[in-house]
Amino acid sequence: MPSIDLSNRRGLGNMAFVIEYTRGFFDAAYEQQIMGLYGRPVVGRRFEPIGSLRSRSIVDFVRCSYLGLDNHPAIVAGAIAAIRDYGSVHWSCARTRLNFGLLGDLEARLSAMFRARVIAFSTVMVANMGALPLIASGALTGGEKPLVAFDRLCHASLAHHKAVVAQETEIVTIAHNDVQALEELCRTRKQVAYVADGVYSMGGSAPIPALIDLQQRYGLFLYIDDAHGISLFGDKGEGYARSHFPDEIGSRTIIAASLGKGFGASGGILMMGTAEQEKLFRSHAQPYVFSAAPNLAAVGAGLASAALHDSGELSRLQSDLAARVSCFDDRIETRQRRTPLPIRMLSIGEEDAAIRAARRLLDRGFYTSATFFPTVARGKAGIRVCLTAAHSHAEIEELCQAIEDVVPGHDSALPTSATRSDAISPNRYVGDVPASLADRLSYADTEEWGA
């Protein structure tokens, strides 16, 4: 059986290291114009950059609107109609005081669609900020504080809260999707809560059936952030995680999800199973009590998207997305090949090589995400491609050709030493990390953050 060091709390405060180690990579990515672009939509997945790149439109493979709904006319119209109807955008008060009526309509509509009690937040990260301290407090586990186990590859918006959770209870980070290690914890601890993604932002997914089995046998509490899985699965777009559960998710599962990715609107939600849980969150989740609600444009867009999810168009878009994913997989080998998820990672290796590859793809008219530490592990940099139902088959074929030209073999084939005018000089810590810093690694070495 794997052994787990429950006393290891390193890495709860290494932001200074992360900044120092990655400064050169971020500087290079901004200089190469593969980060921080501004633009306006043109048609489909094309956008027109503002600035030195504005002479042409570029096909975007960065946005996570997997069904292509973020510029759907009905959703845009819903946002505009809500603002016009109410004559306002935002009420500056806590949600415990006053809320737009349309927000109540949205939460009720989503609750019926997803067969759960839904509370909306301005973002998924804000939802996580409200949920994780309550889990750590024991308020959701019969008054006994659980050991909180974080998956090593859980999203940055989850890992960011480790220090806050550790102030309430004991935490541990376990290897990615390590069901055996999680079961060992469940056997030896009275209360265990597991924090993980449903669909991981750098590819892959959680073993939901195995997690449900542990829950049924040991009472494991599950907190699953399914931001990248919502809308892609289920008859109503309930998502990758929710679609695995029966009609009732019960009192031992909470699912976070985004309304701004596959759903095509804006904001985040929590799905929970009981009235007592909903009452707790509406009284004690810090962002709910001390921050404002999603703005009215987001609410109107969400209601319009909910109506679309209740129509036959959802199934068509899900099928269109599957066809686009298959089109990409027919040409390009990745670890995610032939899985139903729309995220594909091209492994390159060295950070400077990944940045140059992304710039070369941009020069060919395709905007992709260069991923490097701390989003992925050091020396495991690459390119993330987000496929959507709104991409044409021709755009995907042309991207595949560009990938084959720019990243032959999809490994470390690109040169890592810089001799050209676009040379990238990462900071002085690339290579051997000073021992004084290596001693402080946790997020910053073995625990990369998703993004």
Condensed to tens digits (0 to 9), the pLDDT of residues 87-108 reads 999 999 989 999 999 999 999 9
Residue 119: pLDDT above 80? Answer: yes
Q: How far is Cα 417 from Cα 77, in angstroms, rounded to an integer? A: 50
Element (H, E) at 270: strand 268-272
Is 332 inside a domain boundary?
Answer: yes
Alpha helices by DSSP H, 340-440: 351-363, 393-406, 435-438
- For the full predicted model, state whether its pTM sits above 0.85: yes
Q: Please state the rounded mean pLDDT for residues 6-25.
A: 73
Q: Which residues contact 249 (CB under 8 A, 6 or more apart)?
A: 115, 116, 242, 255, 271, 272, 273
Residues 196 and 299 in one domain: yes
Residues 304 and 321 in one domain: no
Residues 112 and 192 in one domain: yes
Is 341 inside a domain boundary?
Answer: yes
Q: Which residues contact 91 (CB under 8 A, 6 or more apart)?
A: 98, 99, 100, 292, 293
Decide which of 283, 309, 335 is a domain's last residue.
Answer: 309
Q: How far is Cα 93 from Cα 234, in angstroms, rounded to an integer? A: 35
Is 448 inside a domain boundary?
Answer: no
**Which residue shows structure tokens 């809260």?**
161
Residues 217 and 94 in one domain: yes
Q: Please state the rounded mean pLDDT for residues 266-284.
A: 97
Name the more confident of 429 and 349.
Answer: 349
Q: What is the pLDDT of residues 139-149, one digit of tens each?
A: 999 999 999 99
Q: How far is Cα 211 from Cα 318, in angstroms, rounded to an integer? A: 26
Could you tell me which of 159, 134, 139, 138 has the C-alpha nearest to residue 149? 159
The answer to whether 354 touches 371, Cβ cutoff 8 Å, is yes
Residue 409's pLDDT is what?
Answer: 59
Name the more confident of 37 and 5.
Answer: 37
Residue 14's pLDDT is what?
Answer: 79
Mean pLDDT (the chain, rounded): 88
The residue segments making up the domain with residue 152 are: 73-309
| CATH code at position 288 | 3.40.640.10
Is 227 inside a domain boundary?
Answer: yes
Decide which of 292, 309, 326 is a domain's last residue.
Answer: 309
Q: How far is Cα 442 from Cα 50, in angstroms, rounded to an integer? A: 38
Could you tell me which of 249, 237, 251, 155 has the C-alpha nearest to residue 198? 155
In DSSP terms, 70 is beta-bridged to none
Is 5 inside a domain boundary?
Answer: no
Band of pLDDT at residue 246, cut at 50, 70 and 90: confident
In this structure, of 135-139, 175-179, 353-357, 447-451, the range with the lowest mean pLDDT score is 447-451
- Beta strand ranges found along 85-201 (DSSP E): 117-121, 147-151, 171-174, 192-197
The amino acid sitting at 239 is G
Residue 359's pLDDT is what?
Answer: 95
Alpha helices by DSSP H, 272-373: 275-284, 286-290, 296-309, 313-329, 351-363
Q: How many domains does the structure of the chain reveal?
A: 2
Q: Please state the rounded mean pLDDT for residues 315-333.
A: 97
In DSSP terms, 121 is beta-bridged to 268
Q: Which residues contact 213 (CB under 8 A, 6 or more apart)?
A: none
Is 10 inside a domain boundary?
Answer: no
**What Cα–Cα distance (Å) separates residue 13 from each residue in 17, 30, 132, 149, 181?**
9, 26, 18, 18, 25
Name the more confident of 12 and 355.
Answer: 355
What the block records as the tokens of 6 is: 């429950």
Residue 421's pLDDT is what?
Answer: 28
Residue 361's pLDDT is what?
Answer: 96
Q: Which residues contact 68 (CB under 8 A, 6 or more apart)?
A: 44, 45, 264, 317, 388, 389, 390, 391
In DSSP terms, 384 is beta-bridged to 345, 369
